[in-house]
A and B are shown apart, each in its own frame.
Chain A
Amino acid sequence: MVAFWSGQFLPGPEYFTTPFSAQFQPGLYSTRSGLYGLALLTILATVFYVYHSRRRNAVFGPYQNLDAQNSAWDKIRQLSERSGVGIDIVLHDKDIANTDAIAFGFRGKRTILMGRGMLLLALRRPSNFLARVAHELGHFKNGDIKYAFLSRSLLQANLVLMTTIMVWLIVRPARVVLMQYYLFTSPKLGFPGADATLFFNLHGLRWAKYWVDQATGSLSITAPVFAFWALLLFLEYRSLLRTREILADARAAQWVSGDALLEALTGGKTPPRPSLKNRLLELFSAHPLLSQRVDVVLRPYKVLHPSLLRFLFLGYLFCLANYLIASINTLMRILNPRYEELLAQGNAIQAALSVLKFEQPLASLIYFIVLFAFAAVYMIVVATLLRSALTQKLSGRAHWAWFLTTIAQIFVFAIGNVLGDAFHPYSQTNQLRLARNVMLGQSVDGLFFNRIGLQDILDQASMSGILLGVAILFWLQVNFILRGSRAKTIKGWQWGALMVFSFLAVFQVWSAFWVMRSFPDYANPMLYIMATLQATLFLAIVLIVSWSMRGRHRGRDNMPGWLMAE
């Protein structure tokens, strides 16, 4: 999102002040416009986020508060106490056939909105009712309200901005046309008072054609990019929701038993095997396939299992992050004149120091945001590999089976990354090239697709090698940790430390090889000694963290006590 809006698409002030000299297409030259774009995005998303509850109340239609004397309230209250999740408001609609329930609202106004059918369900099938309520409480417990609605707010903010820009791209050339008539007519309330005769006398049809050409040209470049970006965001948003649903199921199964949840999910029937159509439609759905939900209730460790599709998506996301980091240098040159000056003098270290010293605070801030975004994407990939190792070990996979699966995952990730090279309509340079082609009346092919060569494919080798190295370390760690007797939940920071230092250990080794290969003149014994020492240090930290996660004694069960612990 940062990559998308920072310096792209938003019309800058020059479009309003000097429309004839402004760039045809908003792009990299509008970096400052991009900054206010990010600010607008943040403000819009915050507003949508804060006010999400207002519209959620009526999502089922007319609603009312559940009578405090209703026996369903007592059941909810008891479950709420048992699970330690407070509920402040319970609403229900008027539809007797609606047995769904949704959760929303922040602490102090946590709300469950139910269909009226849920009240009937509470009487006829109390365990089914409780399983559904427990699922909603699970959403609160897992923090899904903030994750889901923050994502939704960002998506909504993006859509609003995109729509605004599309309207702007249509209005901009119309304004130029209207200016012609303004000179010849008396404006009324600020509007030109042109009539049909004047319109035709002053070459109105030609001006109309000018407007159509301008608007079509702008939209033909921008609209497909926006559509693609909106789809990408929407799919990722839905994917996040599906993950949270599975986690909420896992939590609910703890509180009301797996059997009760299964009964609520299936009604005692075997869920149908999903068809290809079901699987495709699932990509747009807020809920996973029923068969998958049932599978996770029966085998809770599968909550963490990442699909190959996830790796494909991550590969694509990683490619996007790479483009982001690739254009940061240009961005810094525009924002920070001193940075450009130092680079022109060939003083890259001083240029980097100027960023670190926050000599131009705004530029440095953006630099670190972009750097953080890139690191975050990389760590998401690493975390997914760890999840995969963990679930494979828990499901009793043999070493060779794990190895083949991991190779497949990294392969699919690399495919995603190459696909990103071939198909990235968010590329700034690509946008500028297309804008230039439109202006010169040249072909606008390559709007979505770019040529990729053998080198693009070979470039995946080093990244895949690093990921495989990290995955091997994870497999060793997971084998070690899961044999432990630990009962307490493993903290998030412990998992984080394990991931970061495992990655750094492998990356350190790879860096030494990279220097040796790319800059043989710099290679010297001290470099290798330092690289070895650092890699050893990182490995030692990994070992200590693994040891603390494992517990002192060797355990007997395959399923550790901490896995689904509170």
Chain B
Amino acid sequence: MTSPSSQAYSILELQLGQALVATVAPEEIEFFDAIAAAPQQRSKKRDHELGFGVPAGEDIATISATLLVLCKPILNFIWDNAKDATGQLIKNITEQARQVLEKRLGDWFTSRFQKPTPVTIPPEKLDELIAKLESDAKTLGLDETTLSRLTTTLRSGFQR
């Protein structure tokens, strides 16, 4: 299994992760909470009578786990490069404004990117994000089809 970070996920990461899983790998959404709640759990060997006795090991490879890992760099990228409605870089806004923006971002993620994006990212920066994600995703073992769905989702979401 591609193991997500050991540290607990922030609420925003969980909201983004859930939105990405619901869009990219909807078949896994029912397991999302469990995967997010136990990020470091590995399938361990069990020795029960009349059991199978062999864990599935790392090859269970959930998409949810990989997407959760990718949430942090995506959010970091947003904080560093996105601009608010006034065109100001959000990394320069006040703490109070940041909290408001976080809530709006959460709402946007919860809407599965259906609502208009509360931040704007210049096209060249978006390409940069996608390139970085592709590199990270390959390292984490995400397959091509899923990666393609992920990048499409992000592009269309940020351009909405």
What is A's interface to B at a CB cutoff of 8 Å? 59, 94-104, 115-117, 119-121, 123-125, 128, 132, 135-136, 139, 144-145, 148-149, 152, 241, 244-245, 248, 264-265, 267-268, 285-287, 290, 293
Q: Are A99 and B55 in contact (CB under 8 A)?
A: yes
Bound-state Cα–Cα, A148 to B43, Å? 25
Please measure, in the bound complex, the distance between the C-alpha atom of A117 and the C-alpha atom of B47, giving whole angstroms: 16
A102 lies within 8 A of B51 (CB): yes
Closest to B31 in A: A120
Contacting residue for A96 out of B35, B47, B59, CB 8 A: B35
B residues near A103, Cβ cutoff 8 Å: 50
B44, B49, B58, most chain A CB atoms within 10 A: B49
What CA separation (Å) do A149 and B50 show in the bound complex? Answer: 10
Residues of B participating in the A interface, judged by any CB pair closer than 8 Å: 1, 27-28, 31, 34-35, 38, 41-44, 46-62
The CA-CA distance from A167 to B13 in the complex, in Å, is 58
Complex contacts, B44 vs chain A, CB 8 Å: 97
B60 touches A121 (CB 8 A): yes
Contact sample, A vs B, 19 pairs, CB 8 Å cutoff: A94-B34, A96-B34, A96-B35, A96-B41, A97-B38, A100-B53, A102-B50, A104-B50, A115-B43, A125-B60, A144-B50, A145-B50, A149-B49, A152-B49, A264-B52, A264-B56, A268-B59, A286-B47, A287-B54
Q: Are B52 and A119 in contact (CB under 8 A)?
A: no
Task: Report chain B residues within 8 Å CB of A117.
Answer: 43, 56, 60
By the criterion CB–CB under 8 Å, are B50 and A139 in contact? yes
Task: Decide: A148 near B49, CB < 8 A? Known: A94-B34, A99-B60.
Answer: yes
CB distance from B31 to the nearest CB of A (A): 5
Contacts of B1 in A (CB 8 A): 97
The answer to whether A132 and B60 have CB atoms under 8 Å apart is no
Most chain B CB within a 10 A radius of its CB, from A99, A116, A121, A139: A99
Decide if A96 touches B31 in the complex (CB within 8 Å). Answer: yes
Other CB < 8 Å A-B pairs besides A96-B38, A97-B42, A99-B56, 19 of them?
A: A94-B34, A95-B41, A96-B34, A96-B41, A97-B38, A97-B43, A98-B43, A117-B56, A117-B60, A125-B60, A132-B52, A135-B52, A148-B50, A268-B59, A286-B48, A286-B53, A287-B51, A287-B54, A293-B54
Smallest beta-carbon distance A297→chain B, Å: 12
Q: Which residues of B contact A264 (CB under 8 A)?
A: 52, 54, 56
Separation of A244 and B52 alpha carbons in the complex (Å):
11
A148 contacts which chain B residues (CB < 8 A)? 49-50
Bound-state Cα–Cα, A264 to B58, Å: 12
Which residue of B has the minimal Cβ distance to A101?
B52
User: With a CB–CB cut-off of 8 A, which chain B residues contact A123?
Assistant: 27-28
Please, which residue of chain A has its CB at the minimum distance from the CB of B34?
A: A96
Supposing A94-B34, A120-B28, A120-B60 touch, asked if A101 and B43 sit within 8 A by C-beta, the answer is no
Known: A119-B31, A267-B56. A124 touches B51 (CB 8 A): no
A97 touching B41 in the complex, CB below 8 Å, given contacts A124-B62, A125-B59, A267-B58: yes
> Across the interface, do B43 and A267 meet the contact criterion of CB distance under 8 Å?
no
Q: Judge whether B60 and A136 touch: CB under 8 Å.
A: no
Q: How far is the CA of A144 from the CA of B48 in the complex (A)?
A: 14
- CB-based A-B contact count at 8 angstroms: 98
A104 CB contacts on chain B under 8 angstroms: 50
With known contacts A98-B43, A117-B43, A245–B62 Cβ distance under 8 A: no
Smallest CB gap from A149: residue in B = B49
Q: How far is the CA of A119 from the CA of B64 in the complex (A)?
A: 14
Query: How far apart sit A455 and B28, CA to CA, in the bound complex (Å)?
Result: 71
When chains A and B are docked, how far (Å) is the Cα of A248 from the Cα of B52? 9
Contact of A98 among B46, B47, B57 (CB under 8 A): B46
With both beta carbons as reference points, the residue of chain B lying nearest to A147 in the complex is identified as B50
Chain B residue numbers with a CB within 8 Å of A245 are 50, 53
Provide the bound-state CA to CA distance between A102 and B55, in Å: 13
Q: Which residue of A lies closest to B41 (CB)?
A: A97
Say yes or no: A244 contacts B60, CB within 8 Å: no
Q: Which B residues touch A102, using CB under 8 A?
A: 48-51
Q: In the complex the two chains form, what is the Cα distance from A128 to B35 in whole Å?
A: 20
Q: Are A128 and B56 in contact (CB under 8 A)?
A: yes
Across the interface, which residues of A come within 8 angstroms of B59, CB to CB?
A: 125, 128, 267-268
Which 7 A-B pairs rank lowest in CB-CB distance, beginning with the nearest?
A287-B53, A97-B41, A99-B56, A96-B34, A102-B51, A100-B46, A267-B59
Q: How far is the CA of A546 from the CA of B10 in the complex (A)?
A: 73
Bound CA–CA A382/B79 (angstroms): 77
CB distance from B107 to the nearest CB of A (A): 28
Measured CB to CB, the nearest residue on chain B to A122 is B27
Closest to B35 in A: A96
A264–B57 Cα distance when bound, in Å, is 10
Q: For the complex, what is the distance from the CA of A54 to the CA of B62, rounded to whole Å?
A: 33
**Minimal Cβ-Cβ distance residue in B for A138:** B50
Contacts of B43 in A (CB 8 A): 97-99, 115, 117
Pick the contact of B56: A59, A121, A290 (CB < 8 A).
A121
A139 to B48, CA, bound (A): 13
Contacts of A135 in B (CB 8 A): 52
> Chain A nearest CB: distance from B49 CB in Å?
5
Residues of A contacting B55 with CB < 8 Å? 99-100
Q: Which of A102, A136, A139, A268 has the most CB of B within 10 A?
A: A102
Q: Which residues of B contact A149 (CB under 8 A)?
A: 49
- Shortest C-beta distance, A124 to chain B (Å), equals 6
**Residues of chain B contacted by A98 (CB below 8 angstroms):** 43, 46
- Give the CA-CA distance A350 to B1 in the complex, in Å: 74
Residue of chain A at shortest CB distance from B54 = A265
CA distance A117 to B1 in the complex (A): 11
In Å, the complex CA distance between A104 and B57 comes to: 24
Q: Which of B38, B48, B50, B62 contacts A120 (CB 8 A)?
A: B62
CB–CB A241/B61 < 8 A: no
- Distance in angstroms between the alpha carbons of A265 and B52 in the assembled complex: 9
Closest to A140 in B: B50
Q: Which residues of A contact B41 (CB under 8 A)?
A: 95-97
Q: CA of A245 to CA of B31 in the docked complex: distance in angstroms?
A: 30
Chain A residues whose CB sits within 8 angstroms of the CB of B54 once the complex forms: 264-265, 287, 290, 293
Most-contacted residue by chain A among B27, B43, B44, B61 (CB, 10 A): B43
CB neighbours (8 Å) of B60 from chain A are 99, 117, 120-121, 124-125
| Contact partners of A125 in chain B: CB under 8 A | 56, 59-60
Report the bound CA distance from A159 to B34 in whole Å: 39
The answer for the CA separation of A149 and B49 in the assembled complex, in Å, is 9
Q: Chain B contacts of A95 at CB under 8 A?
A: 38, 41
In Å, the complex CA distance between A263 and B53 comes to 14
Shortest distance between the CB of A546 and any CB in chain B (Å): 35
> A529 to B62, alpha carbons, bound, how many Å?
77
